[in-house]
A and B are shown apart, each in its own frame.
Chain A
Amino acid sequence: MFDMAQYIEEYFGDTPFDDVLLKFQRLLASEWEEMHARVKKSGLNNENVIKDLFLSCHPDMKKEYEVFRKAELKKKKESATHKFLLKATPVYYLIMVSVYLAVSFTTRNWRESWLIIIGFVTLWVDTVGGIMIFEIASKRRLYHPIARVILGLSVMMTTVLVYLIGLMVFAIPRFWVVFPAGVFLMYCTDAVFARITDQKLRVINYLIYVPAAAPMIYVILGGLHIIPWHPGWLIVPLSLIIDVLIIIYKVMENSRYIYRPGEEDM
């Protein structure tokens, strides 16, 4: 049997050696052993042909290694982040409880100090959620809905925190508008996610979100007395006009790419 391990080691002789390279070499070596056993079982006994067959499946191992290294380093970074989160979470919660108790005992403001817990928890959820969204977005589209749900939950949780602070600490009047604003923000972030991840047919999302967000804007502006309730309600039918404009824009944009046989080629 051809000494593939030696071949691989010599092939990567001038490549800086580290654990990533070792892992890649090990992967190649085990693939070689697997292929060798498989083709032998299939009926191929010429060792030279088996060796050439394997090498023809890996015409540029260094290029393969570059791709592997990139993926491996990304995986390592993710793994380091996960490990950090795992270790940091108990410490973080310990700090949270300490800060909460310290502030509460010092200020004796138990009525509001619990907001510290909500604040810490929201920050943790948003951080972990953000990391998860980032990781999921780089995976197959099949998993993207999970990222979008996490994104929506993070936005709504932050909204609740902002509302509680505004209500309990600053007693801002008409601060309930934060809730429709949170919903509005949820639509916006989802639309941005669809755009960044280049989701197919995302225009359908936009067409749904515009009329769905319009009542929220109406309630926010009306609630803050920026616009009168009447005729401010016109914002809602206006959203349908915006939808029509989006459709017209998309149709016009697409018409630039409609091929008409017989016309001069572009």
Chain B
Amino acid sequence: MEKKLKAELWDKMHYLFRDFNDRMVHVALYYDFEINVETLKTVLICFFEKAPVLHSSFTDNKISAHWDVKDYVVDDVLTVERVDDLEAAADEFLTQYIEPESDLQMKAAVFMKDGKSALCIVENHMCMDGGDFKYFLRSLCEAYSQYEQTGESPVDLRTGTRAYSAVYGDYSYTEQRMAKNLYKNVCAKDDHRFPFTRDSIRDRSFIAKRTIPAEMFDSIKTTGKKHGATVNDMLLTAYFYSLYELAGFERNESVTISCAIDLRRHIKDSSDMGLTNHTAFMQCSVPELGKDIFETLSHVAAASEKYKKDKFMGLYGLPLLNLGYSILPHAASEQIIKIGYSNPLLAMSNIGVLDENALSLSGNRPSGGFMTGAVKYKPYALLSATTMKKEITLSMCVRGNEEDRRIVDSFLQKCEENLSVLISRR
């Protein structure tokens, strides 16, 4: 008998986002050795068995959506190729799209060249977000290493509930009642947009990225501390400042950027949780650009401070979404939620640190790598940031044309320049 899995709230929400992005999460890790493909296959099969959503097909039967677990062969999951250009091969692989109705929700590739390799993985955001994807990668690398070195079976991956309600699990009864009372529509209501060209059927997905040199990381951190800001606030400031410049917004205009928040901050023990999504957005608004980038930074720091003081940060809107999905058939719920939901035109997701030690394969640390969010459809824009070896990789995945690529590249360059300005006055 075919096994079915419940489609959780965030699975359905990300399915609803199909009009705004391709819902893929991408990662590329580069190693200065050749990955043992057979070991990797073993690990992948074990992990797929422990997280069956990764080999399931999403079924939207209009009444109630669910996942149908499917059989697969590992060769359909993992592509192995010898290539001339690792980065080009990785970029091409990463920009693929996996249909939610397909039998597999994750694809991996190992590209090899002259004793070096690139491990690339693309997965459907409906299955898990960046937070759990990072956990998946760490577990994968650890399992690979142990299997290679000691022969220990690679079976150590968390399993359990994928429900959104796990975020309430560690709260007291009163706090739970409070959190479940937060019926609020937290949608972005800002019309400012990234200066892309017009949408066209000729547009193709691409990943634009820029690496901020490791030397700048400590300065970014210390400068931020001096101004009561985090690294995230510093990146957001650079985003705001560069965007005002690039898009030509008036200096006195208020602009809002939605920032991804990891809701796992509300969960103390996640050992009994399966791979899933626990990400919400906070709206970070600056009332004006300010006379210089430092004033922008103070606006950003003040805005995020307001959120940080809120103990239910990110939990607003969840009860409303749950109500929307639980009282009506799936198709009707989608229509109703679509009426009340407006996707943010500008967003940022700081995925955080990709720990080089945790991502070592049999003692071989990655020489580089990044993780990035979904390919956004114009006019929506998402800036992703990951840090590895103190190098911050800023990336934007866009379905656009060459002109869009040029615009995004120049935006990322401006971000780096603005970060340099920020750290120049210490």
Contacts and interface: CB of A to CB of B under 8 A. Distances in A.
Interface of A: 35, 38-39, 41-44, 46, 48-49, 51-53, 56-57, 200, 254, 257-259, 261-262, 265-266
Nearest to A40: B45
8 contacts: A38-B49, A43-B74, A49-B153, A57-B49, A57-B50, A257-B178, A259-B179, A262-B309
A44 B309 contact: no
Nearest to B153: A52
Contacts of B154: 49
Contact of B45 (A39, A51, A52): A39
A59 B328 CA distance: 37
A142 to B, nearest CB: 9
A46 B159 CA distance: 22
B41 interface: yes
Name which of A38, A42, A49, A261 has the most chain B CB atoms within 10 A of its CB: A42
Contact of A42 (B45, B311, B312, B326): B45
Nearest to A266: B174
B240 interface: no
Contacts of B310: 261
A200 B42 contact: no
Contacts of B48: 42
A48 B150 CA distance: 13
A53 B52 CA distance: 13
Contacts of B45: 39, 42-44
A254 B156 CA distance: 43
A257 B183 CA distance: 12
Contact of A200 (B46, B177, B311, B326): B326
Given A57-B159, A266-B175, A49 B42 contact: yes
B409 to A, nearest CB: 39
Contacts of B155: 49, 52-53, 56
A48 B208 CA distance: 43
A43 B77 CA distance: 11
B72 interface: yes
B329 to A, nearest CB: 11
A112 to B, nearest CB: 49
A261 B45 CA distance: 46
B85 interface: no
B181 interface: yes
Contacts of A53: 46, 49-50, 153, 155
